[in-house]
């Protein structure tokens, strides 16, 4: 009976994760993690949701309102930097965003445009996430998602 308790706990936690990989609608974290200022929003300006783009390069342009984008490492309150997920599911909100070449990108230089190269033709999902200076997503989520077709 005792050995089954850890397995039950893992299954219970897994059941709480979003199935689609799309971001949850807001949420909170404990006070040790960065909070997004009220009204902080990110938008994937290009490509727009539903666009068809010529590949194999997929260039993503972002815009923010209600907050400020700064380079990674800057932990000033009310700021963050961009991360992009290409066909990858979000990591837990309390963990730093990983760096996975071609799939999860840190835009730690404070830029607002990134080009994925060698993107295969077909349907793709792009998620933009603003995270704090140590790559932990701001809460509530500052996120946007688009679905595109690369031809």
In tens, the pLDDT along 98-145 reads 999 999 999 999 999 999 999 999 999 999 999 999 999 999 999 999
* Residue 31 or residue 137, greater confidence: 137
CA–CA distance, 69 with 64 (Å, rounded to integer):
8
Q: Backbone phi, then psi, for 6, in 5-degree steps?
A: -60, -35
- For 43-81, the pLDDT digits (tens) are 999 999 999 999 999 999 999 999 999 999 999 998 999
Q: Quick one: the chain helix, strand, coil %, rounded to 5?
A: 10, 35, 55
Q: In the sheet where 41-46 sits, what is the strand order?
A: 41-46, 58-65, 113-116
Q: What is the pTM of this model?
A: 0.79
Distance between CA atoms of residues 124 and 115, nearest Å:
14
**Would you say domain 23-150 falls under CATH 3.40.50.12280?**
no
Q: Is the peptide bond before 56 cis (omega within 30 degrees of 0)?
A: yes
CA torsion sign, 31 to 99 to 81 to 28?
negative
């Amino acid at each position: 009976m005792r050995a089954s308790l850890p397995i039950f706990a893992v299954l219970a936690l897994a059941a709480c994760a979003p199935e689609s990989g799309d971001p949850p609608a807001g949420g909170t974290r404990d006070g040790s993690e960065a909070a997004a200022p009220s009204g902080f929003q990110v938008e994937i300006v290009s490509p727009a949701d539903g666009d068809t783009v010529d590949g194999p390069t997929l260039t993503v342009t972002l815009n923010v309102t209600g907050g400020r984008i700064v380079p990674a490492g800057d932990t000033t309150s009310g700021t963050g930097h961009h991360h992009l997920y290409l066909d990858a599911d979000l990591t837990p909100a309390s963990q730093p965003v990983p760096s996975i070449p071609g799939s999860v990108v840190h835009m730690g230089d404070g830029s607002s445009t990134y080009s994925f190269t060698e993107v295969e033709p077909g349907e793709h999902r792009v998620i933009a996430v603003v995270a704090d200076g140590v790559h932990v997503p701001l809460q509530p989520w500052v996120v946007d998602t688009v679905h595109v077709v690369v031809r």
